[in-house]
Structure 1
Amino acid sequence: DAGPYAYQFSSPTALLLDQYGYLYVLDYGNSRIQKWFPGAPYGTTVLAASFYNPCGLQFDRLNNLVVADTYYHRIVSFAILCRKLKYAI
C-alpha cells in the first residue's frame, strides 16, 4: 500500500544494501530514505526533509550516503551514523 507510514512507500525508486545487511529504500514520493533492519516488519526513517524528490542513492568510498536531489538540483552526502550533512554539490 502507498502512504507515508513507516511500512508504506510512495514511488520507491532505489534500493541499496549495506555491508551489515541493512536495506535502504529511497522513497521518492515521501522524500525520505527508509532503513530496514533484517527481518523488520517496517522501516525507520533515516533521512527526510533534507531534500525533495530524491532520485538516486549510493554509498561513497567512506560509506557516506550520497543522494541525488532533483528538486534542488544537487548531490548531497550524509554521514549515516551521525546524520550530518557533509557536503552538497
Structure 2
Amino acid sequence: MLNCKQVTQLISKSFIQRLSIRERLSLWVHVGMCGTCRSFRRLQNKLHNTIRGKITESETDSENQLSETVRERMKAVVRSQLKDD
C-alpha cells in the first residue's frame, strides 16, 4: 500500500500523464481511506481547473471563489513561467 507522500506524487503525476491501471487502483484505495489525501486531491483538481480556466460558476461557491485580482495574478505567474521554459 502506498504512503501519503507517494500518493501526492501520483496525484501530481496524473495531471501530466495517464496513470497505469496499477497506479490508479493504488491511488483509489488510498484516497478512499485517507481524508487528508482526498482533500489534497480535491484541492489539486480545483487549482488545476482554475489555472486552465475550466471552473464554471456552478462548480464554485462564493466562499471558495477566487477574487478576479488573485486569478489574474495567478495567470500572470503561470504565463511568465511558461515563457521562461
Q: Which has the higher strand share?
A: 1
Q: Between Structure 1 and Structure 2, whose CA radius of gyration is higher?
A: 2
TM-score past 0.5 threshold: no
TM-score, normalised via structure 1 length: 0.22
- Higher relative CO (Cα under 8 Å, sequence separation at least 6) belongs to 2
Q: Which has the higher helix share?
A: 2
